[in-house]
Amino acid sequence: MKKLDRVTRGILCTTLGGVCWGISGTCGQYLFSTYHVSSQWFTAVRMLVSGLCFLLLALKSSRPALSGIWRDRRDVLQLVVYGIFGLMLCQYAYMTSISYSNAATTTVLQNLSLVIIMVLSCLQLRRWPGRRQVLALALAAAGTYLVATGGDPRHMVLSRQGLIWGLLTAASVAAYTLIPSRILPKWGKEVISGYGMLIGGAVLCLASRPWRLYVPIPIQGWLAVAAVIVVGTILSFSLFMQGIADIGPVRSAMLATTEPVSATLFSFLCLGTRFSVTDLIGFACIIAMILVLAKTNEEKTPAA
């Protein structure tokens, strides 16, 4: 494939992947606000079904890895940690935060994971952050402050639970990104994601017995569940990984800003969620933070 065609494919895949994640969050908000679905039940269903689908995909692309990974104890331990503290915590915190706030706010707050990764990187390398990184920290702090308080420090606009779960989503996304860095290229994304989601979903089932929290939902509700699994998990992940392979993580991080933008638009257009000017300024600060960090990484990446 020509380089230009590959770049075009990467841009399209990454952009569409972000839009798919925005659709996923909006569907989750619809289920919570309309049918009062439990986040434990919803997360367990999403993880178990998505895990099985990823493993079915692995039968075609990574069949030897399906059994090979279980022969390495170190890799199995890392897979279990990833499934519980990466995938399960990320998915559960994300959906719980949406249930207490909305898809747009949660999606914006989860991007604070980039700041967490940056701080951990600075600590690991034992160096102070650069000027762009300090600017990113300031934008992240300003954006979070505006979203949480509406610009008035005397009271919270965003509920305490929504803020806590939103920040926990950011922390778990950082863990989700960092934990599998060694085993992901070794065994493949379908195998690691499939087994990780099954492990995380099984642990969530044992811990909370989500079947006891099931509430009957009509066909429209099940269509929303299917959209989250197919569009918001399998399709979005596959598109984004293809985008990273085609154009690299730096451009992908910049283009992934379609996720908070699309979540905001879909929440407004489909669910009638209203946002104040202060909310939108806070969202803009955090999106600007993503672009600043992506530009910083781009400057540090040597030319090919």
- Tell me how far apart the alpha carbons of residues 153 and 259 are, in angstroms, rounded to a whole number: 28
Nearest to 117 by CA among 144, 136, 97, 139: 136
Q: CA–CA separation, 154 vs 239, rounded Å?
A: 43
- The amino acid sitting at 13 is C
User: What string of DSSP letters covers 216-270?
Assistant: ---HHHHHHHHHHHIIIIIIHHHHHHHHHHHHHHHHHHHHTTHHHHHHHHHHHHH
Residue partners of 290: CB distance under 8 A and separation at least 6: 111, 114, 253, 254, 256, 257
Backbone angles phi, psi at 203, to 5 degrees: -65, -40
Question: Distance (Å, rounded) from C-alpha 157 to C-alpha 152?
Answer: 9
Alpha-carbon gap, residue 132 to 2, rounded angstroms:
34
CB 43 within 8 A of CB 98: no
> 119-172: per-residue pLDDT in tens?
888 888 888 888 888 888 888 888 888 888 877 777 777 888 999 999 999 999
Amino acid, single-letter form, for residue 299? E
- Output the average pLDDT for the chain: 86
Average pLDDT over residues 18-38: 92
pLDDT level of residue 301 (50, 70, 90 thresholds): very low
pLDDT at 304: 37
Of the CA atoms within 13 Å of residue 26, those in its CB half-sphere come to: 23
Closest CA to 42 of 106, 118, 97: 97
pLDDT single digits (tens) 177-212: 888 888 988 998 889 989 999 999 999 999 989 889
Tens digit of each residue's pLDDT (9 = 90 or more) over 49-101: 999 999 999 998 888 999 999 999 999 999 999 999 999 999 999 999 999 99
Both tokens assigned to 152: 């008035």
- In tens, the pLDDT along 216-232 reads 999 999 999 999 999 98
Q: Where are the domains of the chain?
A: 8-37+102-151+219-304, 38-101+159-214
What pLDDT does residue 201 have?
95
pLDDT of residue 208: 87
